Amino acid sequence: MFYSEYRREEGHPDFVYLRKTIESLQLEERFRNKLIQQAIDRMIEANQKRNAISMEKLKIAMKGDTKTYENKFGHDFTVPLEVYEDDKYRLRLNNANLLCEVESIIADYYRHHSTREEKPKKKHWWQ
């Protein structure tokens, strides 16, 4: 009986349905595997980017600089760590939109927080 049914496979509706079901499952499995592979590739790419950023942060930290990642415009500026640690200047740096603004903020910080001793002003021209 099994062999006779097996020979009739080519026209029998049960076998056609079974074959189409198996083919659709195989297509779904291929599609699912492709989506899984794409997700894995995205995770690997994100991990590589994260590693690159952490290496960049490490290099900058070794120089005594940091990046402004909290900028409201999404810009990343490299600034000295001592300037970025001051809350007032950090707020100004996070609101800066252009590099020239950042440079003026840094210059302003060093103008007000300079460590060099200033010479006393002369009172008269003959002194």
CB-CB contact of 101 with 77 (8 Å): no
For helices 99-112 and 87-94, angle between their N-to-C axes, nearest 10 degrees: 170
pLDDT for position 83 = 87
- pTM of the entire predicted model: 0.44
Co-location of 59 and 73 in the same domain: no
Q: Which residues of 50-87 are buried (b: 16+ CB within 10 A; e: fewer)?
A: eeeeeeeeeeeeeeebbbbeebeeebebebeeebbeee
Please give the residue range of the domain that contains residue 12. 7-63
| DSSP string for residues in 41-66 | HHHHHHHHHHHHHHHHHHHHHHHTEE
Q: Tell me, yes or no, whether 120 lies in a domain.
A: no
Whether 71 is in a domain gets the answer: yes
Is residue 72 one of the residues assigned to a domain?
A: yes
Over residues 20-74, the pLDDT tens digits come to: 888 888 899 999 999 999 999 999 888 888 777 776 666 665 567 777 877 888 8
Q: Residue 85: in which H helix or E strand, if any?
A: helix 81-85
Same domain, 31 and 79: no
Cα 92 to Cα 90: distance, rounded to the nearest angstrom: 5
Examine residue 39 and state whether it is found in any structural domain, yes or no. yes
Q: How do residues 71-87 score in pLDDT, each as one tens digit?
A: 888 888 888 888 888 88
Do 29 and 44 belong to one domain?
yes
Do residue 54 and residue 96 come from a single domain? no
Q: What is the pLDDT of residues 87-116, one digit of tens each?
A: 899 999 989 988 889 999 999 998 888 765
Measured distance CA(67)–CA(61) in Å, rounded: 9
